[in-house]
């Protein structure tokens, strides 16, 4: 075995058998941004046998302060491809697949089918809920993290643990982004490294297990917290799930909550253009039977609208995150 891993093989928790387990592990990483860069670098360096990178985005100059896999020469390149090239220079012993596509409800189950472990590094509420639902259905472990401003969390969900929905059954009413709220590269790096550590702990079957554990970090005060959610209960009743645009039928009522100024043309020709606040005030009534599909850019406003419709008696609801 290569001397490359000798310092971790010395650890009694790893050894030759543990290194063999890492080499036999396949990890699906959704997102090659700030979190994903740290995750990918450490999993590749540790000798995880196969990494599958899924990211549809391209490298921008504003990424470079927190995404150290990329160089100025990578600007404009697909992140998945640029990350793969950088990682193979670091460790050519790892098999790395790069998929330049967006994670959606339509492809989630296909993408995670061959993975032993799944990493949510997309930092998108819609992606997290889609992944959690798919991982729970496929009995796959999901290691998810999020960072915004000077705080973040990481947890190990699904598999033999409760899902993300069991811990966070409700989306926030508003959600910021790195572009809107800002983020320190060091904060993203720390949380991504914790994600990678959780993945290694799971692959090595370290005890006690990290499954069902959530860690929080306040980077302003440097306080670390967390809790076990191993006994959390899954939400009762039908889920308000994200679906793919192709899953919309002619019988559905589609509501696009984006304003015309934000999105002059909806991808659904028959979509009603009604804002979230109007739906929350119950100013428009809808028939009870058809499914109502609510869409917006990120899924957060659609969730708010769907929750309001549910409180007004509508049971058949679905969400679409349209993206950029």
CA 130, 127, 149, 193 torsion: positive or negative? positive
**CA-CA distance, 110 to 134, in Å (whole number)?**
10
* Residue of 299, 174, 320, 303 lying closest to 254 (CA atoms): 320
Residue pair 154/215 in contact by the 8 Å Cβ criterion: yes
SS3 138: helix
Element (H, E) at 273: strand 272-273
15: Cβ contacts below 8 Å, ≥ 6 apart: 9
**CA-CA distance, 84 to 97, in Å (whole number)?**
7
Alpha-carbon distances of 267 from 103, 220, 286, 309, rounded to whole Å:
19, 42, 21, 22
**Residue among 37, 178, 295, 296 flagged as catalytic:** 178
Q: Is 158 a catalytic residue?
A: no
162: Cβ contacts below 8 Å, ≥ 6 apart: 212, 229, 230, 231, 232, 233, 234
Pairing of β 213-218 and β 117-120: unpaired
The residues that are catalytic are 178
């Amino acid at each position: 075995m290569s001397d490359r891993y000798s310092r971790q093989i010395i650890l009694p928790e790893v050894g030759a058998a543990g290194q063999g387990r890492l080499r036999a592990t396949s990890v699906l990483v959704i997102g090659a941004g700030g979190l994903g860069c740290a995750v990918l670098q450490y999993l590749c360096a540790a000798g995880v046998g196969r990494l599958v990178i899924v990211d549809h985005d391209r490298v921008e100059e504003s990424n470079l302060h927190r995404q150290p896999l990329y160089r100025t020469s990578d600007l404009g390149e697909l992140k998945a491809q640029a990350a793969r090239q950088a990682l193979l220079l670091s460790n050519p012993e790892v098999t790395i697949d790069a998929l330049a596509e967006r994670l959606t409800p339509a492809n989630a189950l296909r993408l995670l089918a061959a993975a032993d472990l799944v990493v949510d590094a997309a930092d998108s509420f819609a992606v997290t809920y889609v992944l959690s639902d798919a991982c729970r259905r496929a009995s796959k472990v999901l290691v998810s993290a999020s960072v915004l401003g000077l705080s973040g969390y990481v947890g190990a969900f699904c598999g033999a643990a409760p899902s993300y929905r069991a811990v966070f059954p409700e989306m926030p009413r508003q959600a910021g982004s790195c572009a809107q709220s800002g983020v320190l590269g060091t904060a993203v790096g720390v949380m991504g490294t914790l994600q990678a550590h959780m993945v290694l702990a799971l692959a090595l079957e370290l005890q006690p297990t990290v499954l069902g554990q959530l860690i929080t970090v306040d980077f302003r005060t440097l306080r670390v917290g967390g809790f076990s959610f191993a006994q959390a209960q899954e939400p009762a009743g039908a889920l308000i799930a994200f679906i793919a645009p192709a899953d919309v039928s002619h019988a559905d009522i589609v509501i696009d909550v984006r304003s015309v100024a934000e999105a002059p043309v909806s991808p659904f020709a028959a979509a009603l253009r009604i804002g979230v606040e109007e739906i929350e005030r119950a100013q428009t009534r809808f028939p009870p039977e058809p499914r109502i599909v609510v869409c917006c850019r990120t899924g957060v406003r659609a969730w708010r609208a769907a929750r309001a419709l549910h409180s007004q008696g509508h049971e058949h609801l679905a969400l679409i995150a349209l993206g950029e």
